[in-house]
Structure 1
């Protein structure tokens, strides 16, 4: 019996390709036909439309009316989307496992990534501290 998935792309590959096309458009909304042309593939327009609708349902793209259909824009850039996915996975872990998930994530970081994370956390802490010490008019509280 032939494998039904033999000619299929890996899960998420089409979504990634569609998102790449949207990001390449530099803030210009694209219709499914535009995306199909940009991909230069043999994908049916209905397939592209389905992928865009799924991305919209996930909150990854926004859409506006364009004729009888829609034109789509990415909600975030690639790094923003990756951060959002990481946060979603962390939120799925639940309060009981949150500490364990974060601890394992940090323990598996490469040394350079760990150093970068420490720097980013220190910068965020300094910014938060500076925000708390500013008064309502932007001056120092006293």
Structure 2
């Protein structure tokens, strides 16, 4: 998955914050949400076009304009970034790097985060019956 630049992340944050799952967001709406950055409309349009090319956003023609929505949720994007980072840990060491990275991560989370992880692992445990 592609890591996002600072402006791409700001644009994605607008889309993630505004996305209701059905209607997209126009370039003008994104530009308005980022007005404190004093960006040109064409800059926002270019960023959205590049995000569409990267598969980060889906776009749909609405009249003469495009409307954009995230291709995946913020949570799904972050989870994929974490998995990609684990894949990087495997690259030089043939597998043990991923295990070490997971252990280090698990030891660094807060108690509440550890409980969330435990609950998620229990929910997905093989052989679990509902």
Cα distance change of structure 1 residues 89 and 35 upon mapping to structure 2, 3 Å threshold: same
Aligned partner of 2:41 in structure 1 is 45
Long gaps (5+) in structure 1: 1-10, 132-142
Report the Cα distance in structure 2 between the residues aligned to 1:92 and 1:71, rounded to whole angstroms.
35
Aligned partner of 1:21 in structure 2 is 14
Partner of residue 77 from structure 2, selected from 81, 87, 90: 81
Query: What TM-score, normalized to structure 1?
Result: 0.68
Cα distance change of structure 1 residues 104 and 16 upon mapping to structure 2, 3 Å threshold: same
SS at match of 2:25: coil
Structural mapping, 1:96-107, within 5 Å: 96=95, 97-107=97-107
Q: How many residues align?
A: 119
Higher relative contact order (CA 8 A, sep 6+): 2
Structural mapping, 1:50-69, within 5 Å: 50-67=46-63
Long gaps (5+) in structure 2: none
Report the Cα distance in structure 1 between the residues aligned to 2:89 and 2:60, rounded to whole angstroms.
34
Cα distance change of structure 1 residues 59 and 87 upon mapping to structure 2, 3 Å threshold: farther
SS at match of 1:115: helix
Cα distance change of structure 1 residues 47 and 85 upon mapping to structure 2, 3 Å threshold: same
Query: What TM-score, normalized to structure 2?
Result: 0.73
Deviation above 6 Å: which 4+ runs of structure 1?
Answer: none
Aligned partner of 1:116 in structure 2 is 116
Report the Cα distance in structure 2 between the residues aligned to 1:50 and 1:129, rounded to whole angstroms.
48
SS at match of 2:124: helix
Q: CA RMSD in A?
A: 2.4
How far apart are 1:75 and its partner, in Å? 1.6
2:29 aligned with 1:31: no
